[in-house]
A and B are shown apart, each in its own frame.
Chain A
Amino acid sequence: MSVPLTLLGLLDREPSHGYDLKRDYDTYFVRGKPLPPGQVYSTLGRLARDGKVVAGESESGSGPDRRRYAITPTGRAEVESWLAEPVDSDPNLQTVLFVKVVLALMLGRDAEGYLDRQRASHLQRMRELTTLRRSSDPVDALLADHRLFHLEADLRWIDLTAARLTSLADLVAAS
């Protein structure tokens, strides 16, 4: 999962302090392994260096960093492009796609459209693998079958997520 892009996505909602970002990241995207605070601020520093966020003036108060960060048009364009792009199927697909779906719901974007696009991408790959399987020797056919079953499992997850989008949106809105 991309921490910089996820933090950028969270900032696309509204300007936030580093600790707000860490709290939301840990709430939605982490199961049992919170994001270290140092990583939040170092990531924000790199995003600021690259012109994707801007840091406000330091605010008075306790804590190491009381600055509010805001996304720039460059950062926003990167989030949009990342959300819209289908993900290659790999063991991390669900994690990445889950982040995209939750962020899309938070940002009021077309989560169902992203899932549709991912489904189309997967089915295109399955078509290629089906053709390959049918023209291959038994060993290559078995390998193609292995990939096909993994893609099929992804698709089932995508379909189930699509069916649960309404309740997921309610959950995100209520948080």
Chain B
Amino acid sequence: MSAADLPAVPTAKGPLLRARDLHRSFGSTPALRGAELSVDAGEIVAVMGPSGSGKSTLLHCLAGIFPPDRGEVWFDGGRLDRLSESRRTELRRTSFGFVFQFGQLVPELTVADNIALPLLFNRDDRKDAYRRADEWLTRLELDGLGGRRTGELSGGQAQRVAIARALVIHPRVLFADEPTGSLDSLTGERAMDLLTDLARAEGTTVVLVTHDARVAAYADREVMVRDGLVTSPYPVEGGR
């Protein structure tokens, strides 16, 4: 699915991704209470906040993993929240990449299989999918590991495979939820170096949920989520 397939809306220009007045509850517990966020194309934005503030729920709504109870999610000028579940799934498969705290790789498959998987889901040519997976192995400094089972990898290697798997489809937006949460400082630093370098090289927009200031410092700017609302910091000289 391309952005042109989304329901028609008048916004030709503007942010690539936008949340307006998002509300989402789980049972009687509100997680989002009117959250607003705009992310420009190519921007890396860190979403920070205490545990339970609603930052992961915001990411899930922005990525169309589940719709908000109320409010709007716009992607590339189209209303993402109005799409059916199957069309949201298709959009996630073709336009969005995901990296989570624990790589969520398929343990029965090899590293190369895991990276090629999104391409195969998109019905790409099998040979071409594995050729591209090989390229990403090199870009993520994983040469020679393509035949290994993911259970044989270190935490840092597994997370780099997850980054490769997220970027192999050239997503418009990469959603990363605590991508270094399970890694030590040095390994996490290397993973973030690669994630942000590759995202910038590809022009990929990144929404990065983290409670870690050292991770957030890789972003162009940060927003805070508190009690289900997004607050931008006060303007800082030299910052955005």
> Taking beta carbons and an 8 Å cutoff, which residues of A are in contact with B?
86, 113, 116-117, 119-124, 126-130, 134, 148, 151-152, 155-156, 159, 163
Contact = CB atoms under 8 A, between A and B. Distances in A.
Interface of A, helix, strand, loop or mixed by DSSP:
helix
A148 B234 contact: no
Contacts of B224: 116, 119
Given A120-B222, A163-B50, 14 more contacts: A116-B234, A117-B233, A117-B236, A120-B233, A123-B216, A123-B233, A124-B238, A124-B239, A126-B216, A127-B219, A129-B217, A130-B218, A148-B217, A156-B213
A23 to B, nearest CB: 34
B126 interface: no
A113 B234 contact: yes
Top 5 nearest A-B pairs by Cβ distance? A120-B233, A126-B217, A124-B239, A117-B234, A130-B217
Given A148-B214, A148-B217, A159-B50, A123 B231 contact: no
A123 B217 contact: yes
18 contacts: A120-B239, A121-B236, A123-B222, A123-B233, A124-B236, A124-B238, A126-B213, A126-B214, A126-B216, A127-B217, A128-B238, A130-B218, A134-B193, A148-B217, A151-B213, A152-B213, A156-B213, A159-B50
Contacts of A86: 236
Interface string B171-208: 00000000000000000000001000000000000000
A152 B215 CA distance: 10
A159 B224 CA distance: 11
B172 to A, nearest CB: 24
Contacts of A129: 217
A96 B167 CA distance: 45
A116 B217 contact: no
A129 B213 CA distance: 12
Q: Most chain-B Cβ atoms within 10 A of its Cβ — which of A119, A128, A130, A156? A: A130
Contacts of B217: 123, 126-127, 129-130, 148
Given A130-B218, A159-B50, A163-B50, A120 B236 contact: yes
A117 B239 CA distance: 12
Contact of A152 (B193, B214, B231, B239): B214
Nearest to B197: A134
A127 B219 CA distance: 8
A91 B168 CA distance: 45
B94 to A, nearest CB: 32
Nearest to A114: B234
A116 B231 contact: yes
Contacts of B193: 134
Contacts of A156: 213
A159 B226 CA distance: 12
B192 to A, nearest CB: 9
B213 A123 contact: yes
